[in-house]
Every structure is written in C-alpha cells, then in structure tokens.
Amino acid sequence: MRLLSCRESTRLISQGLDRDLAFGERVALRVHFVYCMGCRRANRQMAFLRRAVHALAEPREDSA
Amino acid sequence: MPIAPSELEQHRSYLTAYALRRVGDSGLAEDLVQDTFVAALGAGQNFRGDSSPRTWLTGILKHKIVDAIRRQAREPVVSAEADEEVADFDELFTERGHWNERPAAWGNPDSALEQSQFFRALELCLARLPGRTAQAFMMREHLGLETGEICKELGITPTHCWVMLYRARMTLRECLQQTWFAK
C-alpha cells in the first residue's frame, strides 16, 4: 500500500466529511495518522469546524 | 392570537444580525427580516405561544434564508473564475506534499463555543471565503445538504464540489488558527 502525503491525507479528511470513504482510503488515513501529528490535528480541527458552524446556526439569545 | 406589529419591532435588530451572519449582505438581511415579518403577520394564528416570539420568528427567518441561499446559488456568479484562483495551498505543503508548518494544537476547541467572541472570529473567517466556495460550504454545513444536492444547485461535478469544500475547510482552519487559536 502506498503511503499518503499530508496533502493527500487532508483531502481525504475533508472528503470523509462529505462522503463515505472506501475501505482502502480509511486504512491509508489511519496508517498516516499513526506517524503524522499534523494530520491528526487537522482531522480533529476539521471535525470541530463542523460543530462550530452548527453552533453558529443556533440562535444565541446573548447576541441580540 | 395574531402577533402585534409593535412586538415584531423589538426583534428586528436581533433577526437582522442573525440573517446578516448567514447571508453576508446587509441589504438582503433586511429584506429577509421584512419578508419574515410579513409572513409572521399573515400567519399570526399559527403562533400559539408555546415558544417565545423570537424563537418562532427565527424559525420563519431560517426558511427565508435557505430560500435566499438557494436562489443566489442559481444565479450566475460573475466572479466564478476568481474562485479558481484561490491558492491550492501550495504554501501550506512542501513539494513532496508534507506540511510546511504543522498545524498547531487547539487544545480543547469546544470551549470556544461558549464564547460569543469566537463566533465573531468565525464569521469574519467565513466572510473571507470566495463567493461560490462560501455557498458550497454553507449549503453543506449550515443547511446540511448532501454533496449531490449541492452539485445540482451549483451546477458542478461532485469532484469539484469536494475540492471547494476542501478549500473552504483548509482556509477556515488556517484563518481560525491565525485569528483565534494563536492568540
């Protein structure tokens, strides 16, 4: 199996939020995460972005 | 019981700010709030007081916003080419595709969701996204549309859609890093 670059890894991380990744893609990402802290962080941060935009959409009484 | 026009006014600034955060155009935001008031006055019987007037009005406004974003998406975008010129993050990665500068730790980012200042930073970062990229991202994350629906609305291929969403996320990540988490 070919190892992913960080550029490829971040693309898959993003696509994983929009479609079901193939088995091979998930495995390649997992392997990449084992030795790449930058992409582990990017993975958590992109997931956080989704939570943040959802929270933005909630009406907040304090922002009147 | 119909809602009184004077009561509507109390919510105008809140609703306008709410709409502005999502459509990024103050004229459009004001129009959407006006449409919401018209709808609210027409549908007064439906307001039964089991939620607060503000929550009820926000619910109507949300639908108006969704319609507006869909309408915008169908209009030809003059600056479509500008989107293509967004840096493909060449500065983020080395030639071999590794991080030039590894993403920094964000600690416990969810604690930021308790701070209204954070949402201001997020809004500013969203406002920096190019038009169509922002539309695709908001359709996906704010409206929760599937990629297939976004492709249809924007008239693009799924691959192009994934690329735009990738650019949006990478740009937002970088922007929040600089404007919020690095501070």
- In CATH, what number is assigned to the domain containing residue B17? 1.10.1740
What share of residues in chain B are helix, strand, coil (percent, to 5)? 70, 0, 30
Maximum average pLDDT range among A44-48, B41-45, B50-54, B129-133? A44-48
Q: Which residue of B has its CA nearest to A32?
A: B98
Tell me the three state secondary structure of residue B34.
helix
CB pair distance less than 8 Å for B169 and A37: no
Per-residue pLDDT reduced to its tens digit, B26-82: 888 998 999 898 888 876 656 767 778 888 899 899 888 888 887 776 665 544 444
pLDDT for res A64: 39
Q: Please tell me whether residues B105 and B151 are part of one structural domain.
A: yes
CB pair distance less than 8 Å for B97 and A8: yes
Q: CB-based contact (8 Å) between A14 and chain B?
A: yes
In a domain, A1, yes or no: no
CB pair distance less than 8 Å for A55 and B113: yes
pLDDT for res B79: 46
Q: Which domain holds residue B18?
A: 5-74
Contacts of A4 (CB under 8 A, 6+ apart): A12, A28, A29, A31, A32
Q: Please tell me whether residues B20 and B62 are part of one structural domain.
A: yes
Q: Which tokens hold the place of B32?
A: 């959407």
Q: A10: which chain B residues are within 8 Å (Cβ-Cβ)?
A: 166, 170
Contacts across the A-B interface (CB distance below 8 Å): 102
- ipTM attached to this prediction: 0.91
Q: A39: which chain B residues are within 8 Å (Cβ-Cβ)?
A: 99
Number of domains observed in the structure of chain A: 1
User: Token pair 């735009």 is at which residue?
Assistant: B164
Task: Report the C-alpha gap between A5 and B93 in whole angstroms.
Answer: 9
Q: How far is B56 from chain A (nearest CA, A)?
A: 11
Q: Please tell me whether residues B46 and B130 are part of one structural domain.
A: no
Q: Please tell me whether residues B47 and B116 are part of one structural domain.
A: no
- The answer on pLDDT for B3 being more than 80 is no
Alpha-carbon torsion (B50, B51, B57, B58), positive or negative:
negative
Number of domains observed in the structure of chain B: 2
In degrees and rounded to multiples of 5, residue B93 shows phi and psi of -120, 155
Q: Which tokens hold the place of B156?
A: 């693009």
Tell me the three state secondary structure of residue B32.
helix
pLDDT for res A63: 44
Q: B98: which chain A residues are within 8 Å (Cβ-Cβ)?
A: 5-7
Q: pLDDT above 70 covers what percent of chain B?
A: 85
Per-residue pLDDT reduced to its tens digit, B140-173: 998 889 999 998 888 888 888 999 999 999 999 9
CA-CA-CA-CA dihedral for B161, B167, B170, B176, to nearest 10: -110
Task: Report the C-alpha gap between A27 and A33 in whole angstroms.
Answer: 10
Report yes or no: A62 and B116 within 8 Å, Cβ to Cβ: yes
Q: Which domain holds residue A44?
A: 6-59
In a domain, A64, yes or no: no
Task: Report the C-alpha gap between A44 and A16 in whole angstroms.
Answer: 12
Q: Which tokens hold the place of B111?
A: 């604690």
Q: B158: which chain A residues are within 8 Å (Cβ-Cβ)?
A: 19
Maximum average pLDDT range among A47-51, B39-43, B82-86? A47-51
- In CATH, what number is assigned to the domain containing residue B103? 1.10.10.10
User: Token pair 């939570």 is at which residue?
Assistant: A51
Q: Please tell me whether residues B84 and B47 are part of one structural domain.
A: no
Q: Which tokens hold the place of A36?
A: 């790449």
Q: Which tokens hold the place of B43?
A: 């549908």
Report CA Rg, chain A.
15
